[in-house]
Amino acid sequence: MPQAVLIASIGSTRQAQSDSYDNDLDGVCENVVVIPPSTALDQSRQIDPRLHRPFVTEAVIGYGHQLPGRVSLDVRFLRREYRDRAALVEVNGIYDGVAFKGYRNEALNDIHLITNNTHNWFVYSGLELSVARRGRTVQMLGGYTRGWQHIAGTWQPNDPASFIQPAAFPNDKGIGTWRGFTAGSLAYSSDARNPSWQKHVIRAGASVSLPWSLTTATSFTRLSGPYSGPVYTTLAAPDPRFGPPMVTLSNGRRVPNPLATTYRFAYGTRGQGQVQAPTMVVWNVSLQRDWPLARGRLRIGLDLFNVTNHGADQQFLDGGNVLTSANYALKGGTWQGQNRQAPRTGQVTARYSF
């Protein structure tokens, strides 16, 4: 299963530009201003010469059986590992135990190596059941998936969390996206939206051919809400065990201490205490009738979407996983989020084909 490596910006470029001006409005441009092209390299970014595409390892075991009445049953269990995702690894910091001491290259602060994350990886396990019936007038298909996920491995080098809360690494709920970069773990908003990992997924659909050229169909989906990602809290002030908020380098330059953050994981591990968004339920119904005409066919349809008018929010607000934020998902015990599913709607369609 190929995946794209999303390369972070390592600088900026500007194309050549020419501006022509006709000052006396005689149709001839007397003045031409030329801005030459330029390229600026970001010195705080380095590219690992061994950088390569991430990959997935997957193992699947399954069983299928044809039952009486044109019913088929399939059961599968799969385990998937997302390996060598793109990462930004800080390589310039100097640390003495858990205290920040400065930078090797004192002309710069953090220098990030664009490389592959071989230190931790996503692991997904899933039990999938599906059943189908294919009859002359009735077609049915249904499935259920039970998913488990976790992050295996350990912290990336120089991740502030590896110094501040090293035991908090385990995470088995909202683990983030497998696309893009992995960087420091104490950036509270980085894991706030994780729609890829559902604990329970139920899908079913059916269509029935009725007399008088009528066809009815329905679909049903029930998805467990996504998790918030690690829950954070904030301290009143940085912890002096990790060094002062500002550090003076040997060249006299003062730099901020990356460990002097007031953000902390609120629980013993990153997986504990995560908030789960509401379950999303979608039930759609369709009814159609065909009329054969002398020179074509007319089809009239009625579609109803979200029949139960279920309204579940599927995203967290910025700061929705921070206990001290006004946008915390369970502020005062009441859920607050965004990206609510569309309300009940209906449509009538007419299609003439010839």
Mean pLDDT along residues 201-222: 94
- DSSP notation for 27-46: S---EEEEE--EEEE-TTEE
pLDDT attached to residue 294: 80
pLDDT (tens digit, 9 = 90+) per residue, 98-154? 999 999 999 999 999 999 999 999 999 999 999 999 888 999 999 999 999 999 999
Direct distance between the N- and C-terminal alpha carbons of the chain, in angstroms, rounded to an integer: 42
Q: Is 167 helix (H, G, I), strand (E, B) or coil?
A: helix
Please report where in the chains the tokens 């893009």 appear, as a residue. Answer: 180
Q: Are 98 and 242 in contact (CB under 8 A)?
A: yes
pLDDT attached to residue 14: 67
| Whole-number Å distance between alpha carbons of 95 and 180 | 27
pLDDT attached to residue 5: 46
Mean pLDDT along residues 35-53: 80
Residue 193 has pLDDT above 60, yes or no: no
331 — phi, psi (to 5°)?
A: -60, 120
The neighbouring-strand residues paired with 24 are none
Choice among 121-135, 182-196, 259-273 with the minimum mean pLDDT = 182-196
| Whole-number Å distance between alpha carbons of 112 and 93 | 10
Residue 4 has pLDDT above 70, yes or no: no
Residue 31 has pLDDT above 80, yes or no: no
Q: Are 187 and 181 in contact (CB under 8 A)?
A: no
pLDDT attached to residue 97: 92
* % of the chain beyond a pLDDT of 90: 68
pLDDT attached to residue 30: 75
Confidence class of residue 59 from pLDDT cuts 50, 70 and 90? very high
Residue 12 has pLDDT above 80, yes or no: no
CB-side exposure of 331: number of CA atoms within 13 Å? 14
